[in-house]
Amino acid sequence: MTEQATSNPDTADNSKEPGFRIQRIYLKDLSLEQPHAPQILLVSAEPQVEVEVDVAVTRLSDEIFEVALIATVTAKVDNKVLFLVEAKQAGIFEFSNIPPEQIDPMLGIACPTILYPYLRSNIADTISRAGFQPIHLNEINFHGMYEHRIMQAQQAATEEGKGKLPN
pLDDT digits (tens, 9 = 90+) for 105-151: 999 999 999 999 999 999 999 999 999 988 989 999 999 999 998 99
pLDDT recorded at residue 12: 45
Distance in angstroms (rounded) separating the CA atoms of residues 54 and 98? 25
Q: What are the φ/ψ torsions at residue 96 (nearest 5 degrees)?
A: -130, 135
Would you place residue 156 in the very low, low, confident or very high pLDDT band (cuts 50, 70, 90)? confident
pLDDT digits (tens, 9 = 90+) for 41-85: 888 889 999 999 999 999 999 999 999 999 999 999 989 999 999
| Whole-prediction pTM | 0.81
Q: Is the pLDDT of residue 39 over 60?
A: yes
Q: Tell how far CA 33 is from the center of its chain.
A: 22
Contacts of 153 (CB under 8 A, 6+ apart): none
Instruction: Domains for the chain: give ranges and CATH numbers.
Output: 18-155 (3.10.420.10)
Residue among 95, 93, 92 at smallest CA distance from 63: 95
Residue 149's DSSP bridge partners are none
